[in-house]
Amino acid sequence: MALISLAGTGGFQDASGAPLAFGTLKVQLKDDLLISSSQICSGRESSFNLDANGNVVSGSLWETATYTFRAYSAQGLLVWSMD
Give which of 13, 53, 51, 6 is closest to 27, Cα–Cα.
6
Residue 42: the pLDDT is 94
- 70, 25 Cβ separation under 8 angstroms: yes
Residue 2: the pLDDT is 86
Residue 64: the pLDDT is 84
The backbone torsions φ and ψ at residue 33, rounded to the nearest 5 degrees and listed phi first, read -125, 145
Task: For residues 13 and 44, give the distance between their C-alpha atoms in angstroms, rounded to a whole number.
Answer: 25
Reading the chain (83 residues) residue by residue, the pLDDT tens digits are: 689 999 999 999 998 999 999 999 999 999 999 888 889 999 999 999 999 999 999 999 998 899 999 999 999 999 999 98
